[in-house]
């Protein structure tokens, strides 16, 4: 590789002979972005028709998001679950649970602020977040979520800041109730956001993932709250909230995995690789946190912190596991092929079969009789 081009942008348009005005002229280019594999294909380049892929090249584009995004999932979850808890507590016993409410509002506010910041980090600059609110598009969970976040984050901040503001306490309480409602989608929409993609794993677990994300949100909120100095009653509430979350999480994670693994290739990232390891770690951490919370005896701060950290780590690990599993799923063309051949593609959504090949090779999950050895799906 030598000279990157006349204007250094790999377009090879000599400034004297042409102006940049084409459909991609605004594309800023510094480095080449090879979509091609860095290592050449070293097998015989002949398609294997028993299990066809295109040189094992990914069919889908992997999510371009950075790690800020799973952290955002976590922060948004914590924020939402804390907000909901605060609202319920507010309704049940505004004064008796004031300490809990205040801290939960702060957690919700911090989660909302951190979430917004994380999104901006992912997008690159703040103005880009503003673009999210250009339109409201119900078909896009990201659009819905952005509006929820845009509503919830300032309300949560308000409810927290104004919590002790005397005269304005009423405003804070109103905001507290509002975020209690918004907290539910805030904690859960990210699961829909992931499911509403072409990534076979994410799409496949659309019915089970919300439960996991919300349980995990509860764990996240409870784990953080747990580490504060709360009174006994409040601590009990938080612990019960957390325990419910952990139990639900462990059940939901089984459900998600079973859901995904109905088609082996789809579920495999939850079993193997980085995402599989994170997944297992998450389950172990949550289980450990749960077990620790079950051990009777001293409820001192130290133990609460350990429990909380385990829960936090567990819920974070789950977000990363799901995130990376989705990326792995996008990279694996067979995941998509088998998912759809297994009847989980458009057919499932519409109840009508697509034309999926030459007349005699259309079969979904059957062997083709005409040409022995050519299998529609293996």
Site for other proteins in 297-356 (CB under 8 A): 326, 330, 333, 336-337, 340-341, 345-350, 352-356
Site for other proteins in 74-113 (CB under 8 A): 81, 84-85, 87-89, 92-93, 97
SS3 readout for 147-210: HHHHHHHHHHHHHHHHHHCHHHHHHHHHHHHHHHHHHHHHHHHHHHHHHCCCCHHHHHHHHCHH
Q: Nearer to other proteins by C-beta: 20 or 171?
A: 20
Contact 195, 206 (CB under 8 A): yes
Instruction: Rule CB under 8 A: say whether 129 interacts with other proteins.
Output: yes
Query: Among the candidate windows 120-128, 164-172, 292-300, 314-322, which touches other proteins by CB under 8 A?
Result: 120-128
Query: Among the candidate windows 152-160, 206-214, 261-269, 295-303, which touches other proteins by CB under 8 A?
Result: 206-214
Question: How many residues at the interface with other proteins, by CB under 8 A?
Answer: 143
Instruction: Rule CB under 8 A: say whether 209 interacts with other proteins.
Output: yes
Contact 136, 143 (CB under 8 A): yes
Minimum distance, C-beta of residue 210 to other proteins, in the bound complex (Å): 4
Query: Among the candidate windows 140-148, 156-164, 168-176, 316-324, which touches other proteins by CB under 8 A?
Result: 140-148
Q: How many CB atoms lie within 10 A of CB 99?
A: 16
Q: Nearer to other proteins by C-beta: 261 or 347?
A: 347
Minimum distance, C-beta of residue 148 to other proteins, in the bound complex (Å): 11
Q: Nearer to other proteins by C-beta: 35 or 167?
A: 35
Say which DSSP state 359 is in: G
Q: Nearer to other proteins by C-beta: 56 or 164?
A: 56
Contact 357, 376 (CB under 8 A): yes
Instruction: Rule CB under 8 A: say whether 67 interacts with other proteins.
Output: no
Q: Nearer to other proteins by C-beta: 274 or 364?
A: 364
Minimum distance, C-beta of residue 167 to other proteins, in the bound complex (Å): 27
Contact 160, 57 (CB under 8 A): no
- Binding residue for other proteins, selected from 213, 228, 279, 320, defined by CB under 8 A: 213
Site for other proteins in 357-376 (CB under 8 A): 357-361, 364, 371, 374, 376
Instruction: Tell me the CA distances in angstroms from 236 to 97, 99, 100, 241, one per residue in order.
Output: 12, 13, 11, 8
Q: Which residues pair with 367 in a beta bridge?
A: 375
Q: How many CB atoms lie within 10 A of CB 165?
A: 12
User: How far is Cα 194 from Cα 55, in angstroms, rounded to an integer?
Assistant: 27
Query: Among the candidate windows 155-163, 190-198, 268-276, 314-322, which touches other proteins by CB under 8 A?
Result: 190-198
Q: Give backbone dihedrals phi and psi of 367, rounded to 5 degrees, phi first.
A: -95, 140
Using N-to-C axis directions, what is the helix angle for 273-294 and 232-260, rounded to 10°? Answer: 150
Q: Among all chains, which residue has been given the structure tokens 């997944």? A: 279
Instruction: Rule CB under 8 A: say whether 14 interacts with other proteins.
Output: yes
Instruction: Rule CB under 8 A: say whether 262 interacts with other proteins.
Output: no
Minimum distance, C-beta of residue 1 to other proteins, in the bound complex (Å): 6
Q: Nearer to other proteins by C-beta: 81 or 110?
A: 81
Q: Give backbone dihedrals phi and psi of 48, rounded to 5 degrees, phi first.
A: -95, 105
List CB contacts of 87: < 8 A, sequence separation 6 or more: 176, 177, 179, 180, 181, 183
Minimum distance, C-beta of residue 283 to other proteins, in the bound complex (Å): 18
Instruction: Rule CB under 8 A: say whether 41 interacts with other proteins.
Output: yes
Instruction: Rule CB under 8 A: say whether 258 interacts with other proteins.
Output: no
- Binding residue for other proteins, selected from 22, 264, 366, 378, defined by CB under 8 A: 22
Instruction: Rule CB under 8 A: say whether 63 interacts with other proteins.
Output: yes
Minimum distance, C-beta of residue 166 to other proteins, in the bound complex (Å): 25
Q: Nearer to other proteins by C-beta: 17 or 298?
A: 17
Question: Is 13 buried (19+), middle (13-18) or exposed (0-12) by CB count in 10 A?
Answer: middle
User: How far is Cα 258 from Cα 378, in angstroms, rounded to an integer?
Assistant: 20
Instruction: Rule CB under 8 A: say whether 39 interacts with other proteins.
Output: yes
Instruction: Rule CB under 8 A: say whether 150 interacts with other proteins.
Output: no
Q: How many CB atoms lie within 10 A of CB 35?
A: 8
């Amino acid at each position: 590789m030598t000279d990157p081009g006349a204007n250094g942008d790999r377009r090879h348009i000599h400034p004297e002979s042409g102006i940049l005005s084409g459909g991609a002229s605004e594309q800023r280019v510094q480095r080449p972005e090879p979509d091609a594999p860095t290592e050449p294909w070293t097998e015989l380049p002949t398609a294997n028709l028993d299990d066809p892929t295109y040189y094992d090249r990914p069919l889908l584009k992997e999510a371009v998001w950075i790690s800020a995004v799973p952290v955002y999932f976590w922060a948004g979850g914590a924020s939402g679950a804390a907000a909901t808890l605060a609202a319920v507590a507010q309704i049940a016993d505004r004064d008796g649970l004031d300490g809990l409410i205040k801290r939960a509002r702060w957690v919700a506010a911090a989660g909302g602020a951190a979430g917004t910041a994380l999104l901006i980090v992912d997008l690159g600059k703040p103005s880009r977040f503003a673009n999210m609110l250009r339109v409201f598009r119900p078909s896009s969970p990201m659009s819905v979520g952005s509006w929820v976040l845009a509503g919830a984050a300032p309300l949560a901040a308000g409810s927290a800041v104004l919590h002790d503001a005397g005269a304005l306490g009423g405003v804070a309480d109103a905001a507290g109730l509002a975020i209690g409602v918004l907290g539910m989608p805030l904690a859960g929409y990210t699961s829909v956001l992931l499911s509403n993609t072409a990534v076979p794993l994410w799409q496949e677990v659309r019915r089970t993932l919300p439960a996991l994300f919300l349980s995990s949100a509860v764990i996240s909120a409870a784990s953080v709250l747990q580490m504060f100095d709360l009174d006994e009653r409040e601590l009990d509430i938080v612990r019960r909230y957390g325990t419910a979350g952990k139990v639900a999480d462990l059940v939901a994670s089984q459900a998600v995995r079973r859901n995904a693994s109905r088609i082996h290739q789809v579920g495999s990232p939850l079993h193997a690789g980085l995402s599989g390891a994170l997944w297992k770690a998450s389950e172990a951490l949550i289980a450990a946190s749960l077990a620790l919370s079950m051990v009777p005896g001293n409820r001192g701060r130290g133990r609460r912190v350990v429990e909380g950290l385990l829960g936090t780590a567990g819920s974070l690990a789950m977000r990363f596991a799901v995130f990376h599993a989705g990326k792995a799923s996008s990279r694996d063309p067979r995941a998509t092929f088998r998912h759809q051949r297994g009847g989980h593609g458009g057919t499932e959504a519409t109840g009508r079969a697509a034309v999926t090949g030459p007349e005699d090779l259309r079969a979904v999950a059957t062997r083709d009789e005409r040409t022995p050895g050519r299998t529609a799906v293996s």
